[in-house]
Amino acid sequence: MIFKKENSKRLSLDEYGDLLCDCVEALPENVVIHRLTGDGDKRLLLSPLWSADKKRVLNTVNKTFKEKNIIQGSKT
């Protein structure tokens, strides 16, 4: 598949957090989550630029999980 910029939607950090909430709630509690964000080479990063700040991403995800009382597997 060829990536076409006009066919893609870049998530905001808040949208990413909301998407993770949905995924984690749907994921059975016996499944280990290895990674919610990563450390890519910033020189090669095209988008989203917020993903380059791992601490900010993790803080936002933790805050969102806490505010929404997210529990892994609660929707399975």
Using omega within 30 degrees of 0 as the cis cutoff, is the peptide bond preceding 48 cis?
Answer: yes
Backbone angles phi, psi at 33, to 5 degrees: -90, 120
Q: Is the pTM of this model over 0.85?
A: no
Please compute, for residue 14, the number of CA atoms within 13 A of its CA located in the half-sphere on the CB side: 1
Whole-angstrom distance, CA of residue 47 vs CA of residue 42: 10
Q: What is the pLDDT at residue 6?
A: 64
| Residue ranges for the chain with pLDDT beneath 50 | 1
Q: What is the pLDDT at residue 4?
A: 61
Number of H helices, E strands in the chain: 2, 0
Q: What is the pLDDT at residue 41?
A: 87
Q: What is the pLDDT at residue 10?
A: 85
